[in-house]
Amino acid sequence: MTLTSGQQSAAEIQRDIDEDRRRIEERIDVIQDRISPGQLIDEVLGYVKNSGGGEYAAKLGVAVKTIQFHSL
């Protein structure tokens, strides 16, 4: 309910503040989801698989395992 002088009531101001806060929190959640470690790993793995780097990564993994096995 707006007062006759064109000013908002305290309850209306509080509702506006609460709505702004809710929208900001939603945006922060979206941003956090986009930059989560899991998302970054998924993007890197997708890039490696699609760019031919998968074979390199597989060979590197085998080499590391071989070195670890021989050093025992």
Better-predicted residue by pLDDT, 18 or 70: 18
Whether this prediction's pTM lies above 0.85 is answered by no
CB 8: neighbour CB atoms within 10 A? 13
d(CA 54, CA 45): 8
Q: What is the pLDDT of residue 72?
A: 58
d(CA 68, CA 16): 61
Q: Is the pLDDT of residue 44 over 70?
A: yes
Q: What is the pLDDT of residues 7-42, one digit of tens each?
A: 889 999 999 999 999 999 999 888 877 777 777 777
